[in-house]
Amino acid sequence: MPNKIWRVVDLLDWTSGYFEQHGISNPRLDAEVLLGHLLNKSRLQLYLHFEMPVFQKHLMPFRELIKKRIEHTPVSYLTNRKEFLSLDFYVDERVLIPRPETEQLVETVLATKMDTPQRLLELGTGSGVIATSLAVHQPEWNIVATDMSEPALAVAEKNAETHACTAQITFMSGDLFEPIKQIDNPEQTQFDWIVCNPPYVKNVERDSLSPDVRDYEPEIALFAGDDGLAVIRRLIAEAPQYLAPNGKLLFEIGDTQSDPVSDLINAEPAYCACELLKDYAEKDRLVLASVSSEHSPA
């Protein structure tokens, strides 16, 4: 960045050009988000202050952000922010950056007609966006959220605190259903909903991922064995033990996984129905499997 008096507009133009040269996919947007973050202004406010000079005390840290971005550090890890269902969440390298597709999982739960407060288990909560946004929208519900990664759970707890949901969500650490096995009261081990956005990337797909994802997001949040189904397979097999009568298992899948996942559900006699839900790009993205009213969990 050459030495001169920089106005907001000059910085945005220069930075987006520089990002473009370095193969950053949304150069202008990223430049705006990073500069807005540093100046504590929204993107709209930046446009309203196009002519405003940016002084040295902001130029130095902005240079640092630019350098990290061309090394492919994701913007959300640089700003420590990600919006999810219009709520603001803290994120860092300990957690997967929540994806817009996952908002649909929460919307699907909220759109289901239910007469009583629900008991819901989220497995692999990561930053806690699913559990926390459900808690915000349904303050009567009782939610348990687990993750195998203790560092991720620390982020989830921070987000629940920000949104005043700590009394409503119990966070537990461990591999899939292991934490639930530690609960003494059998009534508390049964759930109306089990929801999960599991890792589902095949190990062999590693090289095809963008460097932003592959080199920065936690491996444990992404990869699930040679066929990408290592976690999903266990989820489908074990969930019925923890589903209350009429309970529902809802989880996200990769866009090529609907056939093998449907086969796994159909082979599991505890489920009485299975539905595939498409994302906004018309790809199969969510699986909703239900057990019957006669279902007996254990």
Ligand X SMILES: C[S@@+](CC[C@H](N)C(=O)[O-])C[C@H]1O[C@@H](n2cnc3c(N)ncnc32)[C@H](O)[C@@H]1O
Contact residues toward ligand X (CB under 6 A) are: 96, 98, 102, 123-127, 129-130, 146-149, 152, 175-176, 197-199, 220-221, 231
Give min distance, CB of 70 to ligand X, in A.
Answer: 25
If the CB atoms of residues 132 and 290 are measured against ligand X, the closer one turns out to be 132
Phi then psi for 140, rounded to 5 degrees?
-90, -15
Calpha distance 171→169 (Å, rounded): 6
The dihedral built from the CA positions of residue 146, 72, 59 and 12, taken in this order, carries a sign that is negative
Give min distance, CB of 6 to ligand X, in A.
Answer: 36
If the CB atoms of residues 19 and 200 are measured against ligand X, the closer one turns out to be 200
Give min distance, CB of 226 to ligand X, in A.
Answer: 16
Instruction: Provide DSSP, 125-150.
Output: -TTSHHHHHHHHH-TT-EEEEEES-H
Give min distance, CB of 198 to ligand X, in A.
Answer: 6
If the CB atoms of residues 27 and 198 are measured against ligand X, the closer one turns out to be 198
Calpha distance 228→203 (Å, rounded): 7
If the CB atoms of residues 74 and 98 are measured against ligand X, the closer one turns out to be 98
Q: Name beta bridge partners: 88.
A: 83
CB-count exposure of residue 137 (10 Å: 0-12, 13-18, 19+): middle
If the CB atoms of residues 34 and 96 are measured against ligand X, the closer one turns out to be 96
Give min distance, CB of 156 to ligand X, in A.
Answer: 8
